Amino acid sequence: MIIKQRILRNVSLNAHPKGCALYVKKQIEWLEGLSGVFSNFPKRVVVLGGSSGYGLATRLVSSILGGASTINVSFEREPSEKRTASAGWYSSHAFEEEAAKRGLYAKSIFGDAFSDEVKEATAELIANELGQIDLLVYSLASPLRIDPITGETYRSVLKPIGVDYKALSLDPSTGVIGEVVIERALAGEEEATVKVMGGEDWELWIDTLLAKGLLAPSFKSVAYSYIGPALTYPIYREGTIGRAKEHLEASSHTISEKLKPIGGEAYVSINKALVTRASAVIPVVPLYIALLYQVMKERGVHEGTTEQIFRLFLERLYTSGEVPTDSKGRIRVDEREMDKEIQQEVEHLWGLQRVGESLIGGDLVGFNLEFAQINGFGFDEINYEEEVDPFS
Triad 163, 164, 168: Cα angle to 5°: 130
Which residue, 38 or 226, has its beta carbon nearer to ligand NAI? 226
Contacts of 30 (CB under 8 A, 6+ apart): 306, 307
Which residue, 12 or 69, has its beta carbon nearer to ligand NAI? 12
- Helix, coil or strand: residue 210: helix
Which residue, 31 or 137, has its beta carbon nearer to ligand NAI? 137
Cα distance between residue 251 and residue 236, in whole Å: 19
**Pattern 318-357, ligand NAI, x by CB under 6 A:** ----------------------------------------
Cα distance between residue 82 and residue 101, in whole Å: 31
Cα distance between residue 218 and residue 305, in whole Å: 26
Among 88, 239, 286, 378, binds ligand NAI (CB under 6 A): 88
Among 10, 51, 108, 122, binds ligand NAI (CB under 6 A): 51
Cα distance between residue 203 and residue 374, in whole Å: 29
Among 53, 199, 242, 378, binds ligand NAI (CB under 6 A): 53
142 counts as binding ligand NAI under rule CB under 6 A: yes
Beta bridge partners of 48: 73, 138
Q: Which of 175, 161, 351, 367 is nearest to 279 (CA)?
A: 367
Which residue, 69 or 86, has its beta carbon nearer to ligand NAI? 86
225 counts as binding ligand NAI under rule CB under 6 A: yes
Cα distance between residue 392 and residue 375, in whole Å: 15
Beta bridge partners of 220: 135, 265
DSSP H/E element including 27: helix 17-32
286 counts as binding ligand NAI under rule CB under 6 A: no
Which segment (176-184, 260-268, 276-284, 378-386) binds ligand NAI by CB under 6 A? 276-284
Provide the minimum distance between the beta carbon of 315 and ligand NAI in the complex, in angstroms, as a whole number. 17
Provide the minimum distance between the beta carbon of 104 and ligand NAI in the complex, in angstroms, as a whole number. 19
- Helix, coil or strand: residue 145: strand
The helix-helix angle for 364-373 and 285-298 (nearest 10°) equals: 110
Provide the minimum distance between the beta carbon of 66 and ligand NAI in the complex, in angstroms, as a whole number. 20
Cα distance between residue 91 and residue 104, in whole Å: 16
74 counts as binding ligand NAI under rule CB under 6 A: yes
Question: Which residue is at the shortest CB distance from ligand NAI?
Answer: 53
Which segment (12-20, 47-55, 253-261, 380-388) binds ligand NAI by CB under 6 A? 47-55
Which residue, 168 or 273, has its beta carbon nearer to ligand NAI? 273
β-pairing, 176-182 vs 165-171, is: antiparallel
Beta bridge partners of 135: 45, 220
Q: Which residues are catalytic?
A: 236
Size of the site for ligand NAI (CB under 6 A): 28
Provide the minimum distance between the beta carbon of 36 and ligand NAI in the complex, in angstroms, as a whole number. 25
312 counts as binding ligand NAI under rule CB under 6 A: no
Instruction: Please give the radius of gyration of the chain, using alpha carbons only, rounded to the nearest integer.
Output: 20
Among 140, 158, 167, 255, binds ligand NAI (CB under 6 A): 140
79 counts as binding ligand NAI under rule CB under 6 A: no
CA dihedral 318, 320, 322, 327 (to 10 degrees): -70
Cα distance between residue 160 and residue 292, in whole Å: 22
Provide the minimum distance between the beta carbon of 54 and ligand NAI in the complex, in angstroms, as a whole number. 4
Which segment (19-27, 106-114, 128-136, 335-343) binds ligand NAI by CB under 6 A? 106-114
Provide the minimum distance between the beta carbon of 261 and ligand NAI in the complex, in angstroms, as a whole number. 27
Binding region for ligand NAI (CB under 6 A): 49, 51-55, 73-76, 88, 112-114, 139-142, 224-226, 271, 273-274, 276-279
